[in-house]
């Protein structure tokens, strides 16, 4: 069954034909007058026509998501039920996103009148679409020793626009009770820890309090493979942002993921066992349980390729401050995927759009059994059953006694795998020999503890064996609805 | 400036300057005819030559201006996938890519799209 | 103190298991390898007692190990299966002729009936002659299409209920990635299925769906199984090569990547909207095999070859060119008509000599089907 490996950039023989870089002439296809300045997927544009074209793609993918109930492609009135949050990394995509949102929905607009949607039917063009726009940055330098803190660079960029409120966070806030309370979380009665050396991920009560930063370090250094670090930082960042969206009463939350990045993250998701969440990777509604206002995550650059972003930023003279790649990112599944896709795109220029189009046609096979406590995405149950059947790791049945509370049943496949799948590089030492006993106890991000405790209560009450309940949600440790 | 020399400006963007001593702008003077095999070290004169083109410029930049991690700039004799090249504000794909013959006072820009997200 | 096997804790470990990273002993390796395949078979309820099952045997590592494991499990767990070896001779000199010798040796070792069918007898073309005609660009398309149909027809001749093939976890994961990257929705839906069965095709399944290629090689090594390990001499599909090298990079970074991808593939399906786009299944008007157009892929490819337009059958556009270039000339060699269970053979040996084609052939076969 095996086939020999080909070098993606050398072999020319393939089913997908290579094409010229542009069609027929070098004249702009829009105005049919100017000499073109750039080719985007074989279409030639001049500089003047490039900007409206890009802006149109942006609006076409954002605006149909703004109203809670979509009213067709030709919507008239934009009345989002809450504020707007923009995730800003300082990277290329989010730099372009910030500029597009500012130009399109903030600059030279009056504050929005505070009338509810029913009354406010007109959507006056000179009024802000969202009442408030927050821009949130999560600094990850705490995870890497030699990395520079870029918060101030980022602040400078955000504050160069009027009308944005800057919310700086740090990735270690995931373990910081002060942050957790600031977004409405209940002060926890003793955090939870987890024994990461065992596939069952046995839960333990926390012994002693540590600083958020050292909790982050313990968490990251306990991960079983270098590939787990970028994935984990991404999940932590995403959840910090989501809780911030809720705390800022935002109904919409935008990521600067362009088509190229989206196709990379979709393939990377599949490569990590997250095929069940393909839909969510493109657009998701989070936290709508218990009659609460859901936060809708939208990626309005999803029809714009990386090249378009780079040209836009260059021609608009935008400063891209977040250029540093995480030190371990290239070893991660995402980094490997990115190198591969970007390389493949060179020879097969339709690869990225094919990937996103294919994924748009896929749907989860089952209804979700619940929500993963770590990444908060819909999850299938029985992850461990599947894994033990496929790869036998023990000659006797699972050692976890039912009395021992464990995290594994509350995780999706991808999160469970991130916490347990070993790299071939690290010695796969037996469970006990690595580190001391305390070294095996890993603190958990605060939202996990809150959800697990609530679910344990529910389970004790209902004796329900199911993976998770998604009805009658009590709020997950929030003191009061926001 | 003698006729067998070409004056050009090179600019790096999108984080690519980090590989070039963090200098964004470089003013260069290069010979109008260069070795056809893109070798940039002083060489015997009987080598076959060609007009100065982008392919040669890429090799020259790697050999004489790049300070670190050449693999982030070049791959398989050209720029790494994900690096855009503009010739006088126009996409090099419209200008014949590596084969474009550089003219006096051309402005060449290299932009990385690979940094950050 | 010497390190002990991570599973039995008594023996000295002799290998590090690619799938789990555990250091285990030889006996435990055989046990987990075979038991995982057994689990796959049970979970998917692949067989019924009394089933006649053909093992697609190429002489390569996957099918050689599959034949060994199927025989072992059939005896150990009393599946009650009647097993056959079914080989396809693509007609590749210096490759298939040698590997078939390996299959013949397997036949003796396992004492299983063997049936060999050749492209030449079915299609009137060998892969050697096809490559001569179309070059090395699309030869894998011909080979894949022709093999699939030849296996089905061979199985019908043997009167079996089921074909098992040696596709392993690496193959499945690679196919998932490839179908996503190439947008092959039709295949994406079924590529992770352990067992596929159309209404009018023979059941096919992949008991090695969760078995790592590296472990298949290890198993063959420690069991001292003989297999033929030369790569096909014709260049493989380049795109598949890209997918494979990507998969190898992922596996190197995280060995579970292979099953993680399969899990992903199993978790999703083609949505309702997209299902509507898929072509309806038809029956080939010429040979009776399943098709998505009037002619099945094999007949289209064959007609292209016969009319000297070898590559015309590859794409939809090429097929239209072929149709536009005039009606099918008379006297063209075609594939014999296909009928499921045309005859119910009483035993394997008789079926080998019974020609399987039905009487309903509208175009009479030029190619004679006889025993291999």
C-beta of residue C155 within 8 angstroms of C-beta of residue C198: no
Measured between alpha carbons, how far is A321 from B93 in angstroms, rounded to an integer?
A: 27
pTM, two decimal places: 0.85
What does the DSSP assignment read for A182-220? HTTBPPPSS-EEEETTSTT-BEEE--S---HHHHHHHHH
Predicted pLDDT of residue A3: 38
CATH of B5-112 given 3.40.50.1820, 3.10.20.30, 3.30.750.210, 3.40.718.10: 3.10.20.30
The residues in A 241-270 lying below 8 A from C, measured between CB atoms, are: 266-267, 269-270
Say if the Cβ atoms of A92 and B18 lie within 8 Å: no
- Residues of chain A with Cβ-Cβ distance to C248 below 8 Å are 5
For chain A, helix, strand, coil in percent to 5 are: 40, 15, 50
Predicted pLDDT of residue C359: 33
Q: What is the 3-state secondary structure (H, E, C) of A79-99?
A: CCCCEEEEECCCCHHHHHHHH
Predicted pLDDT of residue A72: 60
Q: How many residues does chain A have?
A: 482
Q: Report the chain A residue with the minimal C-alpha distance to residue C173.
A: A271
Nearest-Cα distance to chain C for A349, in Å, is: 12
Binding residues of C for ATP: 56-58, 62, 88, 166, 171
Measured between alpha carbons, how far is C241 from C202 in angstroms, rounded to an integer?
A: 29
Confidence of residue A322 (pLDDT cuts 50, 70, 90): confident
C-beta of residue A233 within 8 angstroms of C-beta of residue A144: no
Measured between alpha carbons, how far is A49 from A61 in angstroms, rounded to an integer?
A: 19
Say if the Cβ atoms of B76 and A325 lie within 8 Å: no
Q: Which two tokens stand for residue A388?
A: 């033990």
C-beta of residue A325 within 8 angstroms of C-beta of residue B17: no
Residue C317 placed within a domain: yes
Best of A342, A344, A345 to mutate (most B CBs within 10 Å, chain B): A342
Residue C246 placed within a domain: no
Predicted pLDDT of residue C372: 28
**Same domain flag for C111 and C36:** yes
Measured between alpha carbons, how far is A263 from A269 in angstroms, rounded to an integer?
A: 10
Using DSSP, state whether C42 is helix, strand or coil.
helix
Return the partners of chain C (3 or more C-beta pairs < 8 Å): A
Say if the Cβ atoms of A16 and C239 lie within 8 Å: yes
Say if the Cβ atoms of A269 and C264 lie within 8 Å: yes
| Number of CB atoms found within 10 A of residue A169's CB | 21
Q: Is the pLDDT of residue A113 over 90?
A: no
Higher pLDDT, A123 or B57: B57
- Residues of chain A with Cβ-Cβ distance to B111 below 8 Å are 310, 314
Report for A164-178, A374-388, C97-111: range of highest mean pLDDT:
A164-178
Mean pLDDT of A382-392: 89
Which backbone phi and psi does A159 adopt, to 5 degrees? -80, -10
What single-letter DSSP state applies at residue A105?
I
B88: Cβ contacts below 8 Å, ≥ 6 apart: B106, B107
* Whether A and C touch (3+ CB pairs < 8 Å), yes or no: yes
Nearest-Cα distance to chain C for A317, in Å, is: 34
C-beta of residue C216 within 8 angstroms of C-beta of residue C61: yes
Q: Report the chain C residue with the minimal C-alpha distance to residue A388.
A: C36
Mean pLDDT of A340-364: 89
> Is A155 exposed, middle or buried (CB count within 10 Å of its CB: 0-12, 13-18, 19+)?
middle
Confidence of residue A213 (pLDDT cuts 50, 70, 90): very high
Say if the Cβ atoms of A270 and C273 lie within 8 Å: no
Measured between alpha carbons, how far is C33 from A301 in angstroms, rounded to an integer?
A: 46
A353: Cβ contacts below 8 Å, ≥ 6 apart: A41, A259, A263
Q: Locate tokens 């033929």: which residue?
A: C228
**Same domain flag for C78 and C155:** yes
Best of A361, A417, A431, A432 to mutate (most C CBs within 10 Å, chain C): A361
Type and span of the H or E element at C195: strand C195-196
Using DSSP, state whether A168 is helix, strand or coil.
strand
**Same domain flag for C225 and C100:** yes
Quick check: A294 contacting C, CB < 8 Å?
no
Count of domains forming chain C: 2
Confidence of residue A438 (pLDDT cuts 50, 70, 90): very low
Q: Is the pLDDT of residue A270 over 50?
A: yes
- Residues of chain A with Cβ-Cβ distance to B75 below 8 Å are 9, 343
Q: Is the pLDDT of residue A42 over 80?
A: yes
Q: Select from B75, B72, B54 the least CA-distant residue to B114.
A: B72
Measured between alpha carbons, how far is A36 from A46 in angstroms, rounded to an integer?
A: 4
**Same domain flag for C49 and C162:** yes
**Same domain flag for C222 and C92:** yes
Domains of chain A and any CATH numbers: 38-422+435-462 (3.40.50.620)
Residue C182 placed within a domain: no
* Mean pLDDT for all residues in chain C: 81
Q: Locate tokens 């990257």: which residue?
A: C181
Give pairs for A352-356: CB < 8 Å, separation 24+: A352/A259, A352/A260, A352/A262, A352/A263, A352/A264, A352/A305, A353/A41, A353/A259, A353/A263, A354/C181, A354/C182, A354/C183, A355/A263, A355/A266, A355/A267, A355/C180, A355/C181, A355/C183, A356/A259, A356/A262, A356/A263, A356/A266, A356/A282, A356/A302
* Mean pLDDT for all residues in chain A: 82
Regions of chain C short of the pLDDT cut 50? 342-372
Residue C72 placed within a domain: yes
Predicted pLDDT of residue A21: 67
Nearest-Cα distance to chain A for C265, in Å, is: 6
Type and span of the H or E element at A130: none
Percentage, residues of chain A above pLDDT 70: 78
Say if the Cβ atoms of C185 and A365 lie within 8 Å: no
Residue C176 placed within a domain: no
Measured between alpha carbons, how far is A99 from A459 in angstroms, rounded to an integer?
A: 48
| Number of CB atoms found within 10 A of residue A49's CB | 20
Predicted pLDDT of residue A71: 62
Handedness of CA C273, A300, B87, B114 (dihedral sign): negative
Q: Is the pLDDT of residue A342 over 50?
A: yes
Give the structural domain span for C139: 26-168+206-232
Measured between alpha carbons, how far is C18 from C32 in angstroms, rounded to an integer?
A: 12
**Cα separations in angstroms, A73 against A70, A224, A245, A362:** 8, 46, 26, 22
Pairing of strands B49-51, B74-75: unpaired
Task: Find the chain A residues whose C-beta atoms sit closer than 8 A to any C-beta of B.
Answer: 9-10, 21-22, 26, 35-39, 44, 47, 89-94, 256-257, 260-261, 306-307, 309-311, 313-314, 320, 322-325, 338, 342-343, 345-346
Which backbone phi and psi does A177 adopt, to 5 degrees? -65, -30
Predicted pLDDT of residue A13: 38
Confidence of residue A417 (pLDDT cuts 50, 70, 90): very high
Predicted pLDDT of residue A23: 67
Measured between alpha carbons, how far is A290 from A473 in angstroms, rounded to an integer?
A: 5
Q: Pick A3's closest partner by Cβ from C184, C188, C244.
A: C244
Measured between alpha carbons, how far is C180 from A275 in angstroms, rounded to an integer?
A: 11
Q: Which two tokens stand for residue A137?
A: 């940055």
Residue C135 placed within a domain: yes
Alpha helices, H only, A325-400:
333-347, 351-360, 383-390
Q: Is the pLDDT of residue A307 over 70?
A: yes
CB pairs under 8 A between A and B: 87
**Same domain flag for C144 and C33:** yes
Type and span of the H or E element at A171: none
Measured between alpha carbons, how far is C278 from C274 in angstroms, rounded to an integer?
A: 7
- Residues of chain A with Cβ-Cβ distance to B113 below 8 Å are 92, 260, 306-307, 309-310
Say if the Cβ atoms of B90 and A36 lie within 8 Å: yes
What does the DSSP assignment read for C241-267? HHHHHHHHHHHHH-TTHHHHHHHHHHH
Nearest-Cα distance to chain A for B14, in Å, is: 7
Measured between alpha carbons, how far is C302 from A10 in angstroms, rounded to an integer?
A: 31
Q: Pick C256's closest partner by Cβ from A15, A336, A417.
A: A417
To the nearest 10°, report the CA torsion of C57, C61, C62, C63.
20
Residue C109 placed within a domain: yes
Q: Which residues on adjacent β-strands are paired with residue C115? A: C86
Which backbone phi and psi does C163 adopt, to 5 degrees? -115, 130
Mean pLDDT of A446-469: 68
Return the partners of chain B (3 or more C-beta pairs < 8 Å): A
Q: Is the pLDDT of residue A9 over 80?
A: no
| Number of CB atoms found within 10 A of residue A70's CB | 11
Predicted pLDDT of residue C42: 94
Type and span of the H or E element at C56: strand C52-56
What does the DSSP assignment read for C140-184? HHHHHHHHHHHHHHHHHHHT-SEEE----HHHHHHHHHHHHHHT-
C-beta of residue C297 within 8 angstroms of C-beta of residue A387: no
Handedness of CA A298, A302, A303, A309 (dihedral sign): positive
Residue C51 placed within a domain: yes
Say if the Cβ atoms of B76 and A343 lie within 8 Å: no
Nearest-Cα distance to chain A for B92, in Å, is: 8
**Same domain flag for C43 and C104:** yes
- Residues of chain A with Cβ-Cβ distance to C235 below 8 Å are 13
Measured between alpha carbons, how far is C52 from C50 in angstroms, rounded to an integer?
A: 6
Say if the Cβ atoms of A361 and C32 lie within 8 Å: no
Measured between alpha carbons, how far is A139 from A133 in angstroms, rounded to an integer?
A: 20
Q: Select from C328, C283, C284 the least CA-distant residue to C304.
A: C328
What does the DSSP assignment read for A325-346? PPTTGGGSHHHHHHHHHHHHHH
Confidence of residue B47 (pLDDT cuts 50, 70, 90): confident
In tens, the pLDDT along A359-368 reads 998 888 888 9
Quick check: B28 contacting A, CB < 8 Å?
no
């Amino acid at each position: 069954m095996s086939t020999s490996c080909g070098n993606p950039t050398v072999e020319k023989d393939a089913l997908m034909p290579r094409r010229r870089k542009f069609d027929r002439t070098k004249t702009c296809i829009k105005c049919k007058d100017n000499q073109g300045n750039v080719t985007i997927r074989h279409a030639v544009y001049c500089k003047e026509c490039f900007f409206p074209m890009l802006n149109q793609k942006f609006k076409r993918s954002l605006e149909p998501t703004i109203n809670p109930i979509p009213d067709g492609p030709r919507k008239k009135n934009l009345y989002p039920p809450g504020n707007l949050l923009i995730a800003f990394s300082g990277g290329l995509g989010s730099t372009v996103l910030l500029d597009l949102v500012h130009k399109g929905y903030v600059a030279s607009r009056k504050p929005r009148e505070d009338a509810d949607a029913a009354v406010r039917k007109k959507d006056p063009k000179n009024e802000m679409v969202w009442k408030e726009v927050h821009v949130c940055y999560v600094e990850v330098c705490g995870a890497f020793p030699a990395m520079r803190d870029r918060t101030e660079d980022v602040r400078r960029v955000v504050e160069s626009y009027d009308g944005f409120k800057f919310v700086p966070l740090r990735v270690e806030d995931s373990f910081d009770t002060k942050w957790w309370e600031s977004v409405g979380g209940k002060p926890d009665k003793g955090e939870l820890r987890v024994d990461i050396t065992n596939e069952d991920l046995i839960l333990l009560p926390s012994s002693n309090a540590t600083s958020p930063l050292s909790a982050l370090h313990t968490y990251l250094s306990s991960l079983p493979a270098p590939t787990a670090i970028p994935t984990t930082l991404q999940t932590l960042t995403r959840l910090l942002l989501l809780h911030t969206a809720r705390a800022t009463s935002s109904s919409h939350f935008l990521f600067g993921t362009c088509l190229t990045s989206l196709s990379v993250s979709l393939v990377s998701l599949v490569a990590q066992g997250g095929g069940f969440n393909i839909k969510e990777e493109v657009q998701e509604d989070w936290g709508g349980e218990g009659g609460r206002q859901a936060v809708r995550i939208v990626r309005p650059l999803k029809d714009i390729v990386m090249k378009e972003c780079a040209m836009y930023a260059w021609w608009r003279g935008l400063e891209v401050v977040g250029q540093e790649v995480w030190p371990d990112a290239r070893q991660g599944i995402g980094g490997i995927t990115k190198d591969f896709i970007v390389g493949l795109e060179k020879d097969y220029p339709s690869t990225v759009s094919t990937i996103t189009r294919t994924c748009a046609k896929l749907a989860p096979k089952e209804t979700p059994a619940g929500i993963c406590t770590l990444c908060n995405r819909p999850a299938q149950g029985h992850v461990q059953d599947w894994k033990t059947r496929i790869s036998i790791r023990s000659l006797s049945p699972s050692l976890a006694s039912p009395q021992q509370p464990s995290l594994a049943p509350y995780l999706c496949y991808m999160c469970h795998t991130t916490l347990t799948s070993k790299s071939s590089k690290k010695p796969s030492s037996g469970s006990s020999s690595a580190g001391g006993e305390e070294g095996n106890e890993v603190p958990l991000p605060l939202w996990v503890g809150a959800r697990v405790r609530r679910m344990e209560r529910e389970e004790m009450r209902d004796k329900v064996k199911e993976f998770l309940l998604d009805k009658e949600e009590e709020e997950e440790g929030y003191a009061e609805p926001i | 400036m003698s006729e067998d020399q070409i004056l050009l400006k090179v600019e790096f963007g999108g984080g690519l300057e980090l590989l070039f001593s963090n200098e964004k702008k470089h003013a260069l003077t290069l010979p109008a005819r260069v070795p056809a095999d893109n070798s940039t070290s002083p060489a015997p004169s009987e080598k076959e030559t060609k007009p100065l083109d982008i392919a040669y410029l890429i090799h020259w930049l790697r050999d004489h201006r790049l300070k670190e991690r050449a693999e982030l700039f070049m791959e398989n004799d050209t720029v790494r996938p994900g690096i855009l090249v503009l010739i006088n504000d126009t996409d090099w794909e419209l200008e014949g890519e590596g084969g474009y013959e550089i003219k006096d006072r051309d402005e060449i820009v290299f932009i990385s799209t690979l940094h950050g997200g | 103190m010497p390190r002990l096997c991570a599973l039995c804790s008594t023996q000295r470990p002799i290998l590090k298991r690619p799938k789990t990273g555990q250091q285990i002993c030889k006996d435990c390796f055989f046990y987990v390898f075979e038991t995982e395949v057994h689990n796959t078979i049970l979970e998917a309820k692949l067989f019924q007692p009394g089933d006649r099952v053909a093992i697609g045997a190429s002489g390569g590592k996957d099918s050689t190990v599959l034949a060994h494991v199927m025989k072992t499990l059939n005896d150990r767990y009393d599946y009650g299966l009647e097993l056959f070896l079914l080989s396809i001779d693509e007609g590749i000199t210096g490759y298939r002729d040698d590997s078939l010798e390996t299959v013949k040796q397997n036949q003796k070792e396992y004492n299983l009936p063997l049936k060999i069918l050749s492209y030449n007898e079915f299609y009137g073309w060998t892969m050697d002659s096809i490559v001569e005609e179309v070059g090395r660009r699309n030869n894998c398309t011909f080979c894949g299409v022709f093999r699939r149909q030849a296996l089905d027809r061979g199985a019908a001749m043997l009167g079996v209920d089921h074909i098992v093939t040696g596709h392993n976890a690496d193959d499945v994961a690679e196919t998932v990635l490839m179908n996503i990257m190439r947008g092959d929705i039709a295949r994406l839906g079924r590529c992770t299925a352990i067992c596929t069965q159309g209404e009018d095709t023979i059941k096919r399944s992949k008991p090695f769906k969760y078995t790592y290629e590296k472990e298949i090689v290890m198993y063959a090594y420690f069991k001292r199984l003989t297999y033929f390990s030369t790569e096909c001499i014709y260049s493989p599909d380049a795109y598949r090569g890209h997918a494979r090298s990507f998969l190898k990079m992922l596996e190197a970074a995280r060995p579970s990547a292979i099953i993680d991808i399969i899990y992903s593939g199993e978790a999703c399906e083609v949505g309702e909207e997209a299902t509507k786009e898929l072509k309806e299944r038809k029956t080939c008007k010429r040979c009776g095999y399943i098709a998505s157009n009037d002619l099945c892929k094999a007949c289209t490819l064959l007609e292209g070859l016969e009319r000297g337009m070898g590559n015309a059958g590859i794409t939809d556009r090429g097929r239209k060119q072929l149709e536009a270039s005039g009606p099918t000339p008379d006297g063209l060699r075609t594939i014999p008509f296909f009928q499921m269970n045309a005859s119910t053979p009483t035993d394997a040996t008789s079926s080998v000599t019974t020609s399987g084609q039905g009487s309903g052939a509208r175009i009479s076969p030029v190619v004679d089907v006889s025993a291999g």
